[in-house]
């Protein structure tokens, strides 16, 4: 069987090397030495400042919303994993959906501007599949409308745009370090803040609002801390990250070469790098997509409708006025993510592509 994804596992002795340090200190959580080391190394590797490690990517988004005291609604994309919308709704912020760009699959700045109303306090775009949004357009829109921009960058680890980390755009960017991501800590995440004052406030919030230097409680807070055991996995994976990204990019390029003129793919930002996070493909119809999904499954190959459904069609997440997002709704029915993970090889890529062609051209074979 070829799964749609498979977590990267570093060499066991490399992981236990870090775990030995945890056992020696018996320091398991509360901003331990490995968490501190991982923060420093990630800031250096990614080319960012004010990176705050947390327990998972959803908490990363919720923490960012709390720091900026968001209210009302936030303009966001319906073509994303449900966590983007559910984290907003959980904090009492209504997801205000705007349609996506038909080429990039990302939130369209033009549609986003039209969706802004008197109750909008932020824009929450997503770098879908690791493909950077039109960050310059959103930066201009933020200045024009005086709105915060928080990027869901869960897929964009290690991606650069315009010669800098994509995480340096917006008032904050959030990362997921879930086991299936390019870089992971089994469970984990991070928030990167533009301003150090926002970072310092968020740091207090991650520990119930307690200032550990004075033991005063100066703000509301919650427990979002990453443990030393999770940081140990992150450090072990980070040791291998260049090799991981290089191989995933090579698989992505091989897929693109073999699928040329057969499927549609997102147009990547022309000033960005790749990280090989996902292999999205879009078919000409819902029926074609369903046939390929079933045909691959019959051959022991697992693909995933990622993302389906378009979140604006889910009744629980609709605002009072239903927002039609025709491009997102269409793409959600016609898009699959094909298997892509570090342990794959070119022969497996060829097997997946053969399965796609067989399902599409069964009548002519």
Pick the catalytic residue from 66, 148, 181, 194.
181
Cα separation, 328 vs 338, in Å, equals 19
What is the DSSP track for 231-276?
HHHHHHHHHTHHHHHHHHHHHHHHHHHHHTTTSB-PPPPTTB----
- Contact, 106 vs 124, CB < 8 A? no
Q: What is the DSSP letter of 290?
A: H
Helices 33-46 and 228-239: crossing angle, nearest 10°?
40
Pairing relation of β-strands 148-152 and 172-176? parallel
Q: Return the bridge partners of 219, or none.
A: none
Among 157, 161, 160, 159, smallest CA distance to 182 is for: 157
**66 flagged as catalytic:** no
- Find all residues with CB under 8 Å of 239, minimum gap 6, and list them: 10, 14
Cα separation, 316 vs 94, in Å, equals 11
Among 304, 315, 298, smallest CA distance to 355 is for: 298
- Find all residues with CB under 8 Å of 136, minimum gap 6, and list them: 162
Cα separation, 61 vs 338, in Å, equals 27
Cα separation, 365 vs 358, in Å, equals 8
Cα separation, 288 vs 267, in Å, equals 21
* Burial class of residue 75 in the structure, from the number of CB atoms within 10 Å of its CB (0-12 exposed, 13-18 middle, 19+ buried): buried
Pairing relation of β-strands 51-54 and 189-193? antiparallel
Cα separation, 166 vs 174, in Å, equals 11
Among 44, 100, 86, 57, smallest CA distance to 241 is for: 44
Task: Kindly list the catalytic residues.
Answer: 181
């Amino acid at each position: 069987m070829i799964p749609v994804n498979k977590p990267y596992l570093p060499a066991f002795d490399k992981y236990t090397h870090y775990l030995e340090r945890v056992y020696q200190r018996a320091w398991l959580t509360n901003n331990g030495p490995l968490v501190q080391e991982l923060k420093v190394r990630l800031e250096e590797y990614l080319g960012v400042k004010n990176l705050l490690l947390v327990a998972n990517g959803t908490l990363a988004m919720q923490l960012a919303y709390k720091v900026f005291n968001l209210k009302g609604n936030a303009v966001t994309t319906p073509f994303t994993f449900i966590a983007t919308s559910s984290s907003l709704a959980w904090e009492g912020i209504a997801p205000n959906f705007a349609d996506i760009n038909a080429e990039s699959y990302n939130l369209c700045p033009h549609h986003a501007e039209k969706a802004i109303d008197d109750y909008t306090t932020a824009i929450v775009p997503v770098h879908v599949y690791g493909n950077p949004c039109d960050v310059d357009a959103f930066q201009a829109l933020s200045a024009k409308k005086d709105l915060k921009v928080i990027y869901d960058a869960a897929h964009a680890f290690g991606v650069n745009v315009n010669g800098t980390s994509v995480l340096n755009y917006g008032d904050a960017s959030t990362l997921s370090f879930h086991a299936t991501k390019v870089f992971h800590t089994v469970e984990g995440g991070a928030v990167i803040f533009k301003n150090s004052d926002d970072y310092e406030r968020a740091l207090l919030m991650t520990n119930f609002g307690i200032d550990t230097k004075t033991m005063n409680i100066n703000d509301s807070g919650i427990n979002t801390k990453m443990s030393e055991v999770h940081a140990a996995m992150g450090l072990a994976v980070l040791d291998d990250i260049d090799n991981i990204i290089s191989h995933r990019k090579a698989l992505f390029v091989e897929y693109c070469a073999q699928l040329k003129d057969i499927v549609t793919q997102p147009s990547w930002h022309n000033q960005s790098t790749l990280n090989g996070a996902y292999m999205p493909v879009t078919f000409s119809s819902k029926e074609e997509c369903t046939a390929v999904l079933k045909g691959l499954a019959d051959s022991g190959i697992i693909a995933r409708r990622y993302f389906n459904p378009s979140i604006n069609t889910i009744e629980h997440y609709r605002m009072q006025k239903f927002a039609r997002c025709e491009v997102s709704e269409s793409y959600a029915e016609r898009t699959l993510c094909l298997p892509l993970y570090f342990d794959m090889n070119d022969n497996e890529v060829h097997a997946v592509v053969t399965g796609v062609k067989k399902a599409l051209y069964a009548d002519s074979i």
